[in-house]
Amino acid sequence: MIGSDTIGLLLQGLSHVTVESVVMIGLSLVLLYLGIEKGYEPLLLLPIGAGCLLANLPLSPLIAEDGMLRVLYDMGIRNELFPLLIFIGIGALTDFGPLLENPRLVLLGAAGQFGIFMTLIAALLLGFTRPEAASIGIIGAIDGPTSIYVSGLLAPHLLGPITVAAYSYMSLVPIILPPIMKGLTTKSERLVRMPYTQRAITRRTRILFPILVTVVVGTLVPFATPLIGMLMLGNLMKESGAVERLTKASAQEIANTVTLFLGLAIGSTMVGGEFLKPRTLAILFLGIVAFGVDAMAGVLFAKVLNRLSRGKVNPLIGAAGISAFPMAARVVQKVAQEEDFENFLLMHAMGANAAGQIASVVAGGVLLALMGAGGL
Amino acid sequence: MENLLWGLQTTLLGMGLVFSLLALMWGLLTVALRLDQPSEPAPRAGGPEPAPAAPEPQFPPGLDEQTMAAILVATLAHRAQRRREAAPAMRSYWPGSLLYASRWVGAGRAVQNHGWRRGYR
């Protein structure tokens, strides 16, 4: 005869359903919907949603001691391996040519990091601890792997909401940026045409660039070495042309595999009791503040450059100083063309955008240095 | 208050460091780009190089341009005629082929190829 204990065992899944787990499953379905139906960063939101769903099913063995999601978290998030592997792929995919053609644009990338520090202050005012505030501020880097890397070191318990905020808002760049760009610029400023003359960059310079950046940044900000080193390794492989197979593997197979593992592992951290707190809402709010302040600072700094250059710089390209590469540059081009269909700012915006990519990594390293973290 | 002060200090120091580092990078990149200019061929003293002249046509002795053209046309016509009269292995098309048959002729041929149909045997 089947005893009541056996029936209890069979029904233990149902008996462990909690309100929190139901809400989290609902949230995972929202993430899946956004990724699949709306196309918002599906490569990340789909695995994160799936990880969240699997982790919140009652008594999920996947997040038990030797469960797959726990193993993925331990092997790639706890030790920061996954974001660094993704950085190799990003480096292999990024063309820094537009930045090399116009190196002064690198300053726009610096201005685009202002949101990190403003958000840090706002988070402190809302009662977060210093490491938590720094982790929330790094959403303003608008760079998923950097956010994961920094928050994984400073506040691993906030990794879930920070990652979701970073990637969700990154997919909303085409919606967030235009009102800020239009609000802070006049029509005449948006109409400024910036002539583009392609400058020949030798292969030697393209190869020297990643080495130079790694040595300079790594020497001055050792905390940034893992991030900048992997980004520039990928770029060196691409520009050298000597290891085509490795470049392709880094940009495609490895990046895709790691993205899947990363998404699942981060999704598994979004467990009901830990995630459903008012501070999660606060992080989501601060995330959008970070994005907005970044864009505003970029545009305002470009306006300063516009004045200094006597109207030769279109302030719109300042919004591309954030790291969302290359989406921010495309948004700049679109907004510029709304005013003047024959205004082509794309290459200038791409230069600022590539600078933002480097600047966000540098800012992440600087933040870790200021917090005294980073494993040194 | 203490936290706010710390936040402001971090902001000042952080943004200062980010700007300084990237300004340094700007300088280094500018120097590197100036030192590593792509090599361009040196311009000639006498202005742009003249385009190479077209080669002069070479004719056999006693034949002018008109005669050579007539011989060329005759040769092509003769080759086409020989091909039409040659053995099947040499032919490009079967004699009597309507290479550019109208769609009516094409449709008729298609119907003929379906000889198994009732009424077309």
Q: Which two tokens stand for residue B119?
A: 């009424």
The answer to whether residues A139 and A324 touch, using CB atoms and an 8 Å cutoff, is no
Using CB atoms within 10 Å of the CB of residue B110, give its burial: 0 to 12 exposed, 13 to 18 middle, 19+ buried. Answer: exposed
Q: Find, among B14, B26, B11, the residue nearest to A352 by Cα.
A: B26
Contacts 24+ apart (CB under 8 A), A125-128: A125/B3, A125/B4, A126/A282, A126/A286, A128/A279, A128/A282
Residues in chain A closer than 8 A to B16 (CB atoms):
none
Binary contact (A362, B37; C-beta < 8 A) = no
Percentage helix, strand, coil for chain B under 3-state DSSP, each rounded to 5: 55, 0, 45
In a structure prediction context, what are the per-residue pLDDT tens digits for chain A, which is 376 residues long? 677 788 877 888 888 889 999 999 999 999 999 889 988 888 888 999 999 999 999 988 998 888 999 999 999 888 889 999 999 999 999 889 888 988 888 999 999 999 999 999 999 999 999 999 999 999 998 888 899 999 989 999 998 889 888 887 887 888 889 999 999 999 999 999 988 777 788 899 999 999 999 999 999 989 889 999 999 999 999 999 999 999 999 999 999 999 999 999 989 988 887 788 888 889 989 999 999 999 999 999 999 999 999 998 999 999 999 888 888 898 999 999 998 888 889 889 999 999 998 999 999 999 999 998 744 4
Cβ contact, residue pair B29, A110, below 8 Å: no
Q: Is the dihedral of CA B69, B72, B78, B80 positive or negative?
A: negative
A281 contact B CB<8A: no
Nearest to B33 among A100, A120, A366 (CB): A100
Alpha-carbon dihedral of residues A312, A314, A319, A325, nearest 10 degrees? Answer: -80
Helix and strand numbers, DSSP H then E, in chain A: 22, 0
Q: What residue of B is the nearest CA neighbor of A361? A: B18
The rounded distance, in Å, linking the Cα atoms of A170 and A163 is: 10
**A98 CA to centre of own chain:** 21
B1: which 2 tokens? 């208050």
Among residues A217, A138, A190, which one has the least CA distance to residue A314?
A190
Minimal Cβ distance to B22: which of A212, A362, A367: A362
Chain B positions touching A369 (Cβ under 8 A) are 17
Minimum distance, in Å, between the CA of residue B48 and any CA atom of chain A = 22
CA atoms of A16 and A19, how far apart (whole Å):
10
Residues of B (7-46) whose Cβ lies below 8 Å from A = 7-8, 10-11, 13-15, 17-19, 21-26, 28-30, 32-33, 36-38
Closest by CA position to A122, among listed A99, A139, A106: A139
> How far apart are alpha carbons A204 and A207 in whole angstroms?
5
Residues 183-212 of A with CB under 8 A from B: 199-202, 204-205, 208-209, 212
C-alpha A68/C-alpha A54 separation (Å) is 11
- Whether residue B60 has pLDDT greater than 50: yes
Q: Do A124 and B3 touch (CB under 8 A)?
A: yes
Beta strands of A35-114 (E only): which ranges? none
Chains A–B, number of C-beta pairs less than 8 Å apart: 98
Q: Which of A205, A216, A370 sits opposite B10 (nearest CB)?
A: A370
Please state the pTM of the whole predicted model. 0.75
AA identity, residue B57: P
8 Å CB contact of B7 and A124? yes
Find chain A residues with C-beta within 8 A of B17's C-beta: 221, 366, 369
A261 and B CB contact within 8 Å: no
For residue A79, give how far its alpha carbon lies from the nearest alpha carbon of chain B (Å).
25
Nearest to A184 by CA among A290, A286, A340, A294: A294
HSE, side-chain direction, 13 A CA sphere, residue A69: 25
HSE at residue B18, side-chain half, CA atoms within 13 A, is 33
